[in-house]
Amino acid sequence: MRALLFLAGCLLSASVFAQSAVPGGPAQERLKSLSADPVALRAAIDAGKKATFFCANCHGEEGISKTPDVPNLAGQNPAYLLEQIRKFGAGERKDQFMQGLIKVLKEEERIQVAHYYASIKVPPSIADNSQVPRGKELFAKLCVRCHGEQARGNELFPRLAGQKVPYLKSSITRYRDMTGVRNNQLMAIATAPLKNEDITAIANYLTQMP
* pLDDT 10s digits, 14-24: 334 434 567 88
Domain boundary among 118, 145, 170: 118
Tell me: do 131 and 177 sit in the same domain. yes
Tell me: do 10 and 38 sit in the same domain. no
pTM of the model: 0.87
Task: Write the CATH number for 51.
Answer: 1.10.760.10
Tell me: do 16 and 79 sit in the same domain. no
Tell me: do 102 and 153 sit in the same domain. no
Tell me: do 33 and 112 sit in the same domain. yes
Contact at 8 Å (CB) between 58 and 117? no
Least confident of 81-85, 105-109, 122-126: 122-126
What is the C-alpha to C-alpha distance for residues 58 and 154, in angstroms, rounded to an integer? Answer: 23
Q: Which of 201, 197, 199, 195 is nearest to 130 (CA)?
A: 201
Tens digit of pLDDT for each residue in 185-197?
899 999 999 999 9
Tens digit of pLDDT for each residue in 66-91?
899 999 999 999 999 999 999 999 99
Tell me: do 33 and 111 sit in the same domain. yes
Tell me: do 135 and 194 sit in the same domain. yes
Q: Which domain, by its residues, includes 106?
A: 26-118
Please count the structural domains in the chain. Answer: 2
Q: Which of 90, 56, 47, 88 is nearest to 74 (CA)?
A: 56
Tell me: do 155 and 173 sit in the same domain. yes
pLDDT class of 173 with cuts at 50, 70, 90 = very high
Contact at 8 Å (CB) between 79 and 22? yes
Q: Roughly what angle, to the nearest 10 degrees, separates helices 132-142 and 196-207? A: 100
pLDDT at 20: 53
Q: Which residues contact 85 (CB under 8 A, 6 or more apart)?
A: 102, 105, 110, 113, 114
Domain boundary among 63, 91, 118: 118
Residue 183 reports pLDDT greater than 90: no
Domain boundary among 118, 133, 154: 118
